[in-house]
Amino acid sequence: MLSQFQAVGQALFTQGLVLSQGGNLSIKLGEHLVITHRGSTLGSIQARDLVETGINKNNRATPLASKELEIHRCIYKNTSALAVIHAHPPYAVALSFTEKEIMPCDVEGRALLSKVPVLSTEEVVKLENLAGEIARLLNEYKVVLVRGHGSFAISQLLEEAYYYTATLEQSCRLLYLLKALQVEPGITPG
């Protein structure tokens, strides 16, 4: 289990999908979950960076868990996910300010994700208050973006949730470049 967290955390960090102490990972183990420690560095996860706690109840380790623990819990309670990744992919976050949904224009992005909803709020709210809406959307989509904050991806494996996150960011890079070039996605310039 530790090696999975290490490999995925390292990949997220080296690909620039999280900053040194941003983002979090978790997996579901029956009525428990293992989640990264509050403030852990995903690029160099050690055993001490993993916290096991209940999905439905707290234990002594709970205060050490990522501050997004309640979102992970809500996702596990309301979806079939066994793995959750929360990342801060910069191009995806940038586009979340201008888009209501991300429609990948590249073949891989369209095939894998088809569409990524952007959850936005009109007022500043605690991220935990969006947990139910994030979980609801993740029943339909593999990845959800929260405006100005980051992505939540689910799967049965951490590696697959990473793949969805990386695919989202690649699609958003292409969309960003096309916008900068003032080219409509899907339309060949004449």
Region 2-180: CATH code? 3.40.225.10
Cα distance between residue 99 and residue 92, in whole Å = 10
Cα distance between residue 163 and residue 11, in whole Å = 10
HSE value, Cβ hemisphere, 13 Å, CA-based, for 166: 15
Is residue 22's pLDDT more than 50? yes
Q: Are 22 and 39 in contact (CB under 8 A)?
A: no
Indicate the pTM of the whole model: 0.92
Is residue 34's pLDDT more than 70? yes
Buried b (16+ CB within 10 A) or exposed e, 132-155: eebbebbeebbbbbbbebbbbbbb
The reported pLDDT for the residue numbered 88 is 97
Q: How large is the average pLDDT for residues 136-164?
A: 97
Distances, alpha carbon 147 to alpha carbons 112, 128, 169, in Å: 21, 14, 14
Residue 113: which residues within 8 A CB-CB, separation 6 or more?
Answer: 102, 104, 141, 142, 143, 164, 167, 168, 171
Rounded to the nearest 10 degrees, what angle do helices 69-78 and 131-138 cross at?
A: 40
β-pair partners for 32: 29, 54
Q: Per residue in 107-142, pLDDT tens?
A: 999 999 999 999 986 655 667 689 999 999 999 999
Please, what is the Cα angle at 15 between 173 and 23, to 5 degrees?
A: 100
Is residue 7's pLDDT more than 60? yes
Cα distance between residue 18 and residue 24, in whole Å = 9
Residue ranges of domains in the chain? 2-180
